[in-house]
Amino acid sequence: MNTRAKTDERNGSTDMRYYQLREEGTPRLAVKTTDGLYDLTAAKPQLRTLEDLFTAATIADSSLDRVAERLLDGADVLSPDVLDTERDGDGAVSAPISTGEVWAAGVTYRISEEARKAESSMADMYIDVYDSERPEVFFKATPSRTVGPAERVGIRADSEWDVPEPELGVVLSDGEIVGYTIGNDMSSRSIEGRNPLYLPQAKVYDRCCAIGPCVRSADSVDDPHDLEMWMTISRDGEVLYDDSTNTGKMVRSVEELVNCYTSHNAVPDVSVLLTGTSLVPDDDFTLREGDLIEIGVEDIGTLSNTVVEV
């Protein structure tokens, strides 16, 4: 059985995926369940963003899903077509989180360690990161540097070697895990490879990160350490890269990475932590403007972006 096509309702768990829609520039919050797609903003106009729902759940001392479920009877049923990321105008899907920060973890998969060693002039340091007690956690992006589904991710004009980095994203509200999303931690490998101190320049720049297409609630994900992840890269209609892996290959746990990120750190009310690079194209591959990157994670969806030089 193709695990990419299997049902999103595993072991009886309820599928709760939250989407941020744009309607003539105005945000609307929608939730997709196993029964259909519902407009939560129609049921409660004060709930226009996922951040609004986080606040409502905190005030009600309840979970996201319970708050959303209570609103379903009064919510309009939406056509699945509004989730088509190829559409323009009303109903277009945007990044599910629009406030806070994005952080990322590094060298959490063996393939990531091997790639960092291959590109670096100081390769031995990455062995220490992979095996050490303290993980690598670094700042990745602000909302202004982050794009959503069908938007363009950036490659730096001063970099000669650029790759996407598909990652499982952990969504936090008040430092607590509330959901999961998909992230693309764009990386300028030629810049980082010259010197590890150039990491911020290789990682943080215009359009350096993509998240989406939705946030799946933590309560409806059976095990974040057992999700299939895949990535394809196409150029002019030709697939240049296609591979898959599983989050079970991550050497760190989600809880360990979140604890490192939130400890001794004044984290925003809402944030996303990317959990490490799970798939890496061959060393002779670099992105070009116009390439299409598609990243999928089981039980969440597919994040698609084209590439532009910045």
| Confidence check: pLDDT of 75 > 70 | yes
Beta bridge partners of 238: 235
The per-residue pLDDT for 115 is 54
Q: Label residue 8 by pLDDT band (50, 70, 90).
A: very low
Single-letter residue type at 128: D
Residues 19 and 13 sit within 8 Å (Cβ to Cβ) = no
Q: What pLDDT score does 128 carry? A: 66
| Tens-place pLDDT, residues 173-210 | 999 999 999 999 999 999 988 888 999 999 999 999 99
Q: What is the pLDDT of residues 233-269, one digit of tens each?
A: 999 999 999 999 999 999 899 999 999 999 999 999 9
User: For 101-309, which CATH class?
Assistant: alpha beta
Mean pLDDT of the chain: 89
Give me the pLDDT at residue 38, please: 97
- Can you tell me the mean pLDDT for 33-39? 96
Q: Supply the pLDDT for residue 118.
A: 54
pLDDT value, residue 111: 67
Sorting pLDDT into bands at 50, 70 and 90, what band is 300? very high
According to the 3-state scheme, what is the secondary structure of 133-201?
CCCEEEEEECHHHEECCCCEEEECCCCCCEECCEEEEEEEECCEEEEEEEEEECEEHHHHHHCHHHHHH
pLDDT, greater one: 10 or 30:
30
> Which of 37-46, 102-111, 239-248, 282-291 shows the lowest mean pLDDT across its residues?
102-111
Rounded CA-CA distance 298/45 in Å is 31
Note if the bond before 213 is cis, omega within 30 degrees.
yes
Averaged over 220-232, what is the pLDDT? Answer: 97
Confidence of residue 274 (pLDDT cuts 50, 70, 90): very high
pLDDT at res. 176: 96
Asked whether residue 90 carries a pLDDT value surpassing 50, the answer given is: no
CA–CA separation, 102 and 209 (whole Å) = 8
- 97-130 pLDDT, tens digit per residue, is 999 999 999 888 876 545 555 555 555 666 666 6
> Could you tell me the residue ranges of all domains in the chain?
17-83, 101-309
